[in-house]
Structure 1
Amino acid sequence: MDEMDLMKKMRDVPSPRPEAYDRARTALSTAMAEPTATVVRPKRWFSWPKAGVAAVGAAAVATAVVMGTAGGTAPPASPVAAPQVVDSPLVKLASEVKAGAQPGDASLIIRSTIAPDNSPYVVYTVYTDKGQTFHGDSAKTLSASVAKGENQATQYDATVMAAARLAANGDLEQAKNAMVNVSIGWALGQSPAEQEKAWAQRQEATAEVYRLKGLPVPPPKPRPTGKELEDGVNNALWSNTTYALFIGAANAEVRAGVLKLVATIKDVTIGKTDAEGQPALTLTAGPALQGGTGTHVLTVNAGNGLPIRSEVIPAPGSDSKPSVANYKSSRVNLADVAAGKI
């Protein structure tokens, strides 16, 4: 049974709040070793269809996504290639991004996409350089949220942002370990015993999801090795770095770190295209990095690395629907946002 099968069995549960839907979907995907394109949505929103994942519960969500960082110095039990200095256009672009940092104390990200009921919607996110996060479904509600001090930052936000900054300014291997280890089960850079413990926690998180719904618990899986381990690690790296980009893109350090980390994933292919009349790069994470469920294509501006478009293409024969999100990013001052100057 995969994530979508489990979700289908939950249709009798009342509609969840948007943020509960996303967190539960992330928990399911993480616990079951399946990818997800993390979406940030504001507190105020429309009623969702009965996707049924609200009943997964806060305990399962907290267990399935661990807000941790790498530690220890022992080599991994199952070796995973350390990041290498590669001849990638992303590395050069990362250097240019850092050198061209813009004034302001926060990132404003405007995300446009289509809701499950096929209506268009927009999400406004401000991520401050101090680590605060504010959401709104319009410029007005975003300004109100900032003015009221409704900081919605999570430990997950803080951890992935710190890992991105480390990649921009410090040890790339340590940064990769920190970014991957946000997702439960990997414990990169830690001892074999710690890695086995982390994997056991991942299996228990999976089992808890099934138990909460009264479904048969699948047998635990052994910690992967070889290419399967590499793909799992890179799935976590891709998911966590793109999330950091999607809420903190206008921060030069975050963006540069994300670009450098993505450049270490050898199975991400880089292409050239035009977007909004400007040269752009397409970063494609294929089925191997998506658990075989499809392909994720991220389009970024070739001159500054800002995200333009994110497209998820389901695998042939899948009953999942394709999704597209468009992004606008800029540097702002938080005081201006609170005053309605967006």
Structure 2
Amino acid sequence: MDEMDLMKKLRDVPSPRPEAYDSARTALSAAMAEPTATVVRPKRWFSWPKAGIAAVGAAAVATAVVMATTSGSAPVAPPVAAPQVVDSPLVKLASDVKAGAQPGDASLIIRSTIAPDNSPYVFYTVYTDKGQTFHGDSAKTLSAAAAKGQDLATEYDATVMAAARLAADGDVEKAKNAMVNVSPGWALGKSTAEQEKEWAQRQEATAEVFRLKGLPVPAPKPRPTGKELEDGVNNALWSNTTYALFIGAANAEVRAGVLKLLATIKDVTIGRTDAEGRPALTLTAGPALQGGNGTHVLTVNADNGLPIRSETIPAAGSDGKPFVADYRSSRVTLADVAAGKI
């Protein structure tokens, strides 16, 4: 089962925009085991809507209704937040990014990928510093959306951006809790009773997905403990944080906060590479952060932290498919976008 299968089954939930799928893919990789009943995959390329955006991002949907972690006994207090990794290249890069903020009032993100029929697919997002979000499948449709004021911002967008900015301002531990808690069920920093309540609500949401699919509802799973809890929390942190990067990268505060938060995930491996002649960093979230179902590699510019590529590599022997999206990010003004100056 992949994110397209799931979203097709959720007929009452409007389809999310494309950049949400990178995060949804991460959340779904830590999902429950595939039901034994056969799920028929759609035969055609998924058509991205120009409007009808879900009230929450796909990452929130996926985590709310699918990600069910196994084992564990009684609910316990959340794990101690990972200490800030002061020698991480991401921390230094975050400081440089914030200090080098560019003029403009919005982020323009151009996302390019290849559809299953091998045709190119490009999607445009503008996220303003005020929290507005505009989309288009071309520069022309993006400009039209901005000119008409077709703001498709969601509460999910606002919440992950606020958490990223909080991390940029220095309160990384509080920001981590806020970013993780965008995904239902974790309740980091809350009482044991609140954690129990939110975990039970998450399990009921998972059961509802099975009901919608007409499949047997699995028994509720207890809140995980130990390393399994840490991996689940870090999956949510990775998913929500990278989503913020994919739509708000050209905002220096958002980007700096994202880099600081990613630096706290000790199981993320940081490497160096060359991307089209540019020095780059590879951030690899391996199987431990993907429910054992594969690897997600994020490539960012080593000089400014802007995303370059997001790549999902399925686990050997799985029926998952590799997925690659390339990103171009720049600082713009909304007025210029609305006037067609892209």
* CA contact 1:78–1:226 (8 Å) conserved in 2: no
Q: Report the secondary structure of 1:127's partner residue.
A: strand
Question: Partner of 1:113 in structure 2?
Answer: 113
Say whether 1:83 aligns with 2:74.
no
Question: Partner of 1:42 in structure 2?
Answer: none
Alpha-carbon deviation of 1:202? Answer: 0.8
Question: Partner of 1:322 in structure 2?
Answer: 322
Following the alignment from structure 1 to structure 2, what is the Cα–Cα distance between the partners of residues 49 and 264?
35
Partner AA of 1:306 in structure 2 = L
Question: Partner of 1:175 in structure 2?
Answer: 175
Question: Partner of 2:69 in structure 1?
Answer: none
When residues 328 and 184 of structure 1 are mapped into structure 2, their CA distance, relative to the original with a 3 A threshold, is same
**1:300-331, CA deviations, whole angstroms, 9 ceiling, x for partnerless residues?**
00000000011000000111110101000000
Following the alignment from structure 2 to structure 1, what is the Cα–Cα distance between the partners of residues 28 and 284?
24
Following the alignment from structure 2 to structure 1, what is the Cα–Cα distance between the partners of residues 330 and 211?
44
Alpha-carbon deviation of 1:211? Answer: 0.8
Question: Partner of 2:160 in structure 1?
Answer: 160
User: For 1:321-340, what aligned pairs fall within 5 Å after superposition?
Assistant: 321-340=321-340
Question: Partner of 2:210 in structure 1?
Answer: 210
Alpha-carbon deviation of 1:170? Answer: 3.4
Alpha-carbon deviation of 1:83? Answer: 3.1
* CA contact 2:76–2:192 (8 Å) conserved in 1: yes
Following the alignment from structure 2 to structure 1, what is the Cα–Cα distance between the partners of residues 126 and 93?
24
Alpha-carbon deviation of 1:278? Answer: 1.0
TM-score by length of 2: 0.83
Unaligned runs of 5+ in 1: 36-46, 51-56, 67-75
When residues 312 and 23 of structure 1 are mapped into structure 2, their CA distance, relative to the original with a 3 A threshold, is closer
When residues 120 and 63 of structure 1 are mapped into structure 2, their CA distance, relative to the original with a 3 A threshold, is closer
Partner AA of 1:19 in structure 2 = P
Question: Partner of 1:43 in structure 2?
Answer: none
Alpha-carbon deviation of 1:78? Answer: 3.2
**1:25-55, CA deviations, whole angstroms, 9 ceiling, x for partnerless residues?**
97898589539xxxxxxxxxxx7359xxxxx
Question: Partner of 2:5 in structure 1?
Answer: 7
RMSD of the TM alignment (CA)? 3.0
Q: Report the secondary structure of 2:237's partner residue.
A: helix
Following the alignment from structure 1 to structure 2, what is the Cα–Cα distance between the partners of residues 96 and 173?
20
Alpha-carbon deviation of 1:118? Answer: 2.6
* CA contact 1:64–1:206 (8 Å) conserved in 2: no
Question: For this pair of structures, how many residues does the alignment match?
Answer: 310
When residues 28 and 238 of structure 1 are mapped into structure 2, their CA distance, relative to the original with a 3 A threshold, is closer
Question: Partner of 1:41 in structure 2?
Answer: none
Question: Partner of 1:233 in structure 2?
Answer: 233
Following the alignment from structure 2 to structure 1, what is the Cα–Cα distance between the partners of residues 79 and 31?
19
Alpha-carbon deviation of 1:116? Answer: 3.2
Question: Partner of 2:92 in structure 1?
Answer: 92
When residues 130 and 115 of structure 1 are mapped into structure 2, their CA distance, relative to the original with a 3 A threshold, is same
Following the alignment from structure 2 to structure 1, what is the Cα–Cα distance between the partners of residues 209 and 21?
10
Following the alignment from structure 1 to structure 2, what is the Cα–Cα distance between the partners of residues 34 and 180?
16
Q: 1:48 aligns with which of 42, 45, 49?
A: 45
TM-score by length of 1: 0.83
Q: Report the secondary structure of 1:203's partner residue.
A: helix
Unaligned runs of 5+ in 2: 33-43, 48-53, 65-74
Which 4+ runs in 1 deviate beyond 4 A? Answer: 20-33, 61-66
Q: Percent identity among equivalent residues?
A: 76
Alpha-carbon deviation of 1:65? Answer: 5.7
